[in-house]
C-alpha cells in the first residue's frame, strides 16, 4: 500500500514537472516574436519518446496553453504580438502598458487566459464524453467524411488561397500514404528507402516544415535587431473590483473561444478578434476600447485559451484533429500507440480522466507560473534572433535524431524546411499539410474498410443519415470556398488592371 502511494507521488511529481516544462517552453516561445506555439510544441514532441504517454501529452497541452498566454507578453510589452492570435491584444494592451503599467496589462491578460483555460477545460470535460458516446454510433463512412470535411474546412477558413491550401492538403495526404500499406503490407512511394517503410517521421516533417522554415524566414530579416523596453511597474495583479469589471468580457470571450475551437480550421486567430468585437459591443464603456481597456485585453486572451479546450473536444471524442497544433499533439498519442477517438474514451477512461485533470492543472499552473515568471519572459524578449536561430537549429536537429536515431530523417527535415520556406512565401499552408498527413490513416482506412464491407458499393457513403448530414456540411464548405476563390480572383485582376493603368 505504501509502495503504491509512493508510486502515485512519483507519478504526480513527474506529471507536475512535465506540465512545468511545457508551460515554460510554451510561454517562452509564445513570447518571442516569430516563434510561437507550433514551434514550441514541435520542438517538445521528440521528448515524448522518453516519457510516459500521459506526461508527454500533458507537457504538450501545457505548452499549448502557455504559448497562448506567452503571445500576449510581447504584444503588451513591445507592441508586437508573439503569436498571430495575440494581435488584438496589442490594441489595448500596449495602451494600458504605457498609460498605467505593463504589469496591470499583463495581469488582465493572465487572468483572462486563466479564466478562458478553465472555461475551455470545463467545456471539454462536460462535452467530450457525450460527444464520444454519440460518435460510437458513427461508422467508417462517417469517419471518412468527417476527415474530409475537416480538411476542407482548414483549406477554406484557415488559409489565404483555397487552391494552394488544397494543394497543401493533397500533398499532406500524399505524404501520409508513404510507407507500408496497412491493408496489404505492400510498400508505397518508399523509393526503396527502408527508413520510409514506417512512413515519414512526423517529428522530422513537423520540425522541417515549422522550425526550419521559420528559421529561414528569420534569416531573411534583420537578425541582430534587439528590442528595448523599460521593465518597471511589472507587478502582475488585479484588484477584486478590476477583476469583476472584466468578468463579462472574460465570459463572452471564453464562450466564443470554446465554440470556435471546436470548428476545424477556424482557431484562435478568428476567435480572439470576434471576442474583442463582442466585448466592445456589449461593454458599458465601449469608448475605452483601443485606449487601454482591461476588457479589451481580457476578452481576446480568454478566447485564446478557451480555444484549446474547444479544439481538444473533436480530437479526443472523434479522433479528428482540427488544427496543426492539435495534429502535432496527436503525434504524442501516435508515438504512444494510442488511437484517439470514441474507442479510447470507452476503453481508456483512466487516461481520459488524467488528461482532464492534467488540463485543469496546466491552467492553474499557467496562472502561478505567469505570476512568478512573466518578468523572466519579458527579459527574454531582448534576445536577438542571431542567438535564437542557431539554438533552434541545434535543438531541432537533436530532437529529430533522438526520435528514431536515423540520419535519414535529418535530411528529410532539411529538404522539407527549404521547400516549406519557398512555399510559405507563395501562400501555401504548411499547417494544412501536417494536419492532412496526420489524418491520412483515418481517412484511408475508413474509406477502404467501408468499401470492403460494402463489397465495393459506393452508396455506403450517402445512404446513412449521419453521412448525409456530413455531406451537406461538405457542400456548404465547398460552396463557400468557390465564392471565396472567385472573389479573390476578381480582386487580383482588379489590382493588376489598376497597376497597369497607373504605369
Partner 1 sequence: MTIRTMNLIVYAALAVLSVLVLRAVSEIPVTMPGDVGSGFLPGFLAWLILGLSALGALRAVLAGDTGSFRSEYLGRVLITVGVIVGFLLSWQNLGFFFLQCFLFLFGLFTYYRWPHGPSARLFAVNAAVAAGITALCYVTFTFFVFVDL
Give the interface with partner 1 as residue ranges (CB under 8 A). Answer: 46-47, 49-50, 163-164, 166-167, 170-171, 173-174, 177, 181, 183-184, 186, 188-189, 191, 215-216, 219-221, 223-224, 385-387, 389-391, 393-395, 397-398, 401-402, 405, 407, 410-411, 414, 418, 421-423, 425-426, 444, 447-448, 451-456, 489, 492-493, 495-497, 499-500
Q: How far apart are CA 259 and CA 252, in angstroms?
A: 11
Q: How far is the CB of 379 from partner 1 (least distance, A)?
A: 16
Q: How far is the CB of 46 from partner 1 (least distance, A)?
A: 8
For residue 111, give the H/E element and its range. Answer: helix 102-135
Residue that is written with C-alpha cell 535530411 in the block: 411
Of the pair 12, 422, the CB lying nearest partner 1 is at 422
Q: How far is the CB of 183 from partner 1 (least distance, A)?
A: 7
Of the pair 225, 232, the CB lying nearest partner 1 is at 225
Q: How far is the CB of 246 from partner 1 (least distance, A)?
A: 39
Task: Please list, in sequence order, all residues whose beta carbon lies within 8 angstroms of the beta carbon of residue 362, skipping any fewer than 6 positions away.
Answer: 19, 22, 23, 58, 61, 62, 65, 66, 117
3-state DSSP of 432-468: HHHHHHHHHHHHHHHHHHHHHHCCCCHHHHCCCHHHH
Of the pair 3, 191, the CB lying nearest partner 1 is at 191
Q: How far apart are CA 257 and CA 213, in angstroms?
A: 29
Of the pair 178, 324, the CB lying nearest partner 1 is at 178
Q: How far is the CB of 165 from partner 1 (least distance, A)?
A: 10
Show the cell assigned to 71. Answer: 503571445
- 324 with 42: CB under 8 angstroms? no
Judged by DSSP in three states, 160 sits in coil
Q: How far is the CB of 29 from partner 1 (least distance, A)?
A: 16
Of the pair 11, 122, the CB lying nearest partner 1 is at 11
Of the pair 133, 493, the CB lying nearest partner 1 is at 493
Of the pair 325, 385, the CB lying nearest partner 1 is at 385
Q: How far is the CB of 368 from partner 1 (least distance, A)?
A: 23
Task: Please list, in sequence order, all residues whose beta carbon lies within 8 angstroms of the beta carbon of residue 494, skipping any fewer than 6 positions away.
Answer: none
Per DSSP, what are the bridge partners of residue 188? 179
Of the pair 15, 171, the CB lying nearest partner 1 is at 171
Show the cell assigned to 369. Answer: 507560473
For residue 122, give the H/E element and its range. Answer: helix 102-135
Judged by DSSP in three states, 179 sits in strand
3-state DSSP of 182-199: CCCCCEECCCCCHHHCCC
Show the cell assigned to 249. Answer: 468580457
In DSSP notation, 251-286 reads HHHHHHHHHHHHSTTTHHHHHHHHHHHHHHHH-S-G
Of the pair 182, 281, the CB lying nearest partner 1 is at 182
Q: How far is the CB of 77 from partner 1 (least distance, A)?
A: 23
Nearest to 123 by CA among 303, 273, 364: 303
Of the pair 84, 223, the CB lying nearest partner 1 is at 223
Q: How far is the CB of 494 from partner 1 (least distance, A)?
A: 10
- 324 with 38: CB under 8 angstroms? yes
Q: How far is the CB of 495 from partner 1 (least distance, A)?
A: 7
Treating both helix axes as pointing N-terminal to C-terminal, what angle do 140-157 and 465-502 enclose, rounded to 10 degrees? Answer: 20
Amino acid at each position: 500500500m505504501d509502495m503504491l502511494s509512493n508510486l502515485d507521488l512519483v507519478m504526480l511529481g513527474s506529471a507536475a514537472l512535465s506540465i512545468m516544462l511545457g508551460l515554460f517552453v510554451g510561454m517562452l516561445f509564445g513570447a518571442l516574436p516569430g516563434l510561437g506555439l507550433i514551434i514550441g510544441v514541435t520542438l517538445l514532441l521528440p521528448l515524448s519518446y522518453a516519457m510516459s504517454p500521459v506526461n508527454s501529452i500533458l507537457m504538450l497541452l501545457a505548452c499549448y496553453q502557455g504559448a497562448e498566454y506567452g503571445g500576449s507578453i510581447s504584444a503588451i510589452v513591445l507592441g508586437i504580438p508573439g503569436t498571430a492570435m495575440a494581435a488584438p491584444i496589442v490594441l489595448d494592451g500596449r495602451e494600458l502598458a504605457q498609460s498605467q503599467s505593463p504589469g496591470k496589462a499583463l495581469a488582465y491578460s493572465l487572468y483572462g487566459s486563466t479564466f478562458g483555460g478553465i472555461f475551455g477545460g470545463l467545456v471539454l470535460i462536460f462535452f467530450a464524453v457525450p460527444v464520444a458516446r454519440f460518435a460510437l454510433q458513427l461508422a467508417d463512412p462517417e469517419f471518412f467524411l468527417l476527415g474530409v470535411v475537416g480538411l476542407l474546412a482548414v483549406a477554406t477558413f484557415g488559409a489565404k488561397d483555397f487552391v494552394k491550401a488544397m494543394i497543401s492538403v493533397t500533398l499532406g495526404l500524399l505524404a501520409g500514404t508513404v510507407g507500408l500499406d496497412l491493408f496489404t503490407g505492400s510498400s508505397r512511394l518508399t523509393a526503396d528507402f527502408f527508413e520510409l517503410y514506417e512512413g515519414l517521421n512526423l517529428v522530422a516533417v513537423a520540425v522541417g516544415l515549422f522550425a526550419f522554415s521559420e528559421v529561414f524566414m528569420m534569416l531573411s530579416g534583420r537578425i541582430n535587431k534587439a528590442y528595448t523596453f523599460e521593465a518597471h511597474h511589472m507587478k502582475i495583479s488585479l484588484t477584486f473590483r478590476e477583476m469583476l469589471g472584466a468578468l463579462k468580457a472574460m465570459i463572452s470571450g471564453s464562450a466564443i473561444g470554446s465554440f470556435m475551437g471546436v470548428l476545424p480550421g477556424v482557431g484562435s486567430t478568428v476567435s480572439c478578434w470576434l471576442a474583442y468585437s463582442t466585448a466592445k459591443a456589449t461593454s458599458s464603456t465601449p469608448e475605452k476600447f483601443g485606449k487601454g481597456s482591461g476588457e479589451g485585453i481580457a476578452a481576446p486572451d480568454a478566447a485564446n485559451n478557451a480555444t484549446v479546450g474547444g479544439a481538444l473536444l473533436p480530437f479526443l471524442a472523434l479522433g479528428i484533429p482540427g488544427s496543426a497544433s492539435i495534429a502535432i499533439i496527436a503525434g504524442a498519442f501516435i508515438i504512444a500507440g494510442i488511437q484517439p477517438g470514441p474507442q479510447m474514451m470507452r476503453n481508456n477512461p483512466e487516461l481520459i480522466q488524467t488528461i482532464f485533470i492534467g488540463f485543469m492543472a496546466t491552467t492553474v499552473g499557467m496562472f502561478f507560473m505567469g505570476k512568478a515568471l512573466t518578468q523572466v519572459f519579458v527579459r527574454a524578449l531582448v534576445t536577438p534572433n542571431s542567438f535564437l536561430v542557431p539554438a533552434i537549429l541545434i535543438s531541432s536537429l537533436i530532437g529529430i535524431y533522438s526520435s528514431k536515431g536515423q540520419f535519414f530523417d535529418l535530411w528529410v527535415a532539411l529538404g522539407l524546411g527549404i521547400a516549406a520556406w519557398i512555399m510559405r512565401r507563395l501562400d501555401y499552408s504548411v499547417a494544412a499539410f501536417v494536419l492532412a498527413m496526420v489524418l491520412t490513416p483515418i481517412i484511408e482506412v475508413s474509406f477502404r474498410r467501408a468499401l470492403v464491407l460494402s463489397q465495393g458499393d459506393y452508396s455506403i457513403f450517402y445512404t446513412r443519415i449521419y453521412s448525409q448530414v456530413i455531406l451537406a456540411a461538405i457542400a456548404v464548405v465547398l460552396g463557400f470556398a468557390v465564392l471565396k476563390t472567385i472573389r479573390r480572383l476578381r480582386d487580383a485582376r482588379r489590382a493588376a488592371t489598376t497597376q497597369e493603368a497607373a504605369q
